[in-house]
């Protein structure tokens, strides 16, 4: 038995599919730029933090020869992987080095500020905010490895 399909129903289906495609196109167009938490966006924000806090010693290119008056030369941060002879960026190690609050005293003096303290005390950031900021800085450092 043939079920007759009323004209208006077919019409609705066509309108509906048109609207569906239109909607999908708009959503696609809105997402065209890098999403808010994409790697590229994170790295760009990380670079801004780097220029603000770190470039004074490490240089804007992170290669670190600005402060020749310092007792300990800031290392070239584009060679983090190469110095460690590894291909994987050591995310946790580098996060701990930058944060600095868990550093064991017996490892000697540190010439770099303890950023975990700077961010939490001077800038009154919460632990979540500090984690976010470190994540962005690390995305940037990850991107510039040679
Ligand atoms: C006052 C100068 C100074 C500033 C500012 C500074 N650093 Fe450093 N950084 C150093 C020195 C010196 C070292 C070498 C280790 C040490 O003596 O603490 C170092 C080491 C590091 C290392 C370890 C590299 C490795 O391969 O082990 C990282 C990562 C790093 N800095 C990131 C940063 C970031 C990110 C910032 C900004 C939030 C920053 N530094 C700001 C001086 C500085």
Per residue in 91-137, pLDDT (tens digit) is: 999 999 999 998 655 566 788 999 999 999 999 999 999 999 999 99
Q: From atom 39 of ligand 1, which residue's Cα is the shortest distance away?
A: 54
In the chain, % of residues over pLDDT 90: 55
Asked whether 54 lines ligand 1 (CB < 6 A), one says yes
* Lowest pLDDT segment from 1-15, 61-75, 102-116: 1-15
* Cβ 138 under 6 angstroms from ligand 1: no
Return the pLDDT at 118.
Answer: 96
Reported as half-sphere exposure (CB side, CA atoms, 13 A), residue 27 has a value of: 6
Q: Does domain 39-143 have CATH number 3.30.70?
A: no
Tokens of 78: 């584009």
Percentage with pLDDT > 70 across the chain: 72
- Cα separation, 43 vs 20, whole angstroms: 34
End-to-end CA separation in angstroms for the chain: 71
């Amino acid at each position: 038995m043939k079920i007759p399909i009323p004209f208006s129903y077919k019409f609705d289906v066509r309108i509906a599919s048109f609207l569906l495609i239109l909607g999908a196109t708009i959503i696609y167009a809105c997402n065209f730029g890098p999403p808010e938490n994409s790697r590229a966006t994170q790295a760009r924000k990380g670079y801004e933090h780097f220029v603000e806090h770190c470039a004074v010693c490490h240089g804007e290119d992170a290669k670190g020869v600005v402060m020749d008056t310092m007792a300990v030369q800031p290392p070239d941060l584009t060679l983090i992987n190469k110095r460690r002879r590894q291909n994987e960026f050591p995310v946790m190690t580098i996060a701990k080095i930058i944060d600095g609050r868990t550093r064991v005293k017996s490892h000697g003096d540190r010439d770099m500020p303890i950023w975990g303290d700077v961010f939490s005390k001077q800038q009154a950031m919460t632990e979540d905010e500090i984690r976010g900021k470190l994540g962005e800085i690390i995305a940037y450092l990850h991107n510039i490895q040679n």
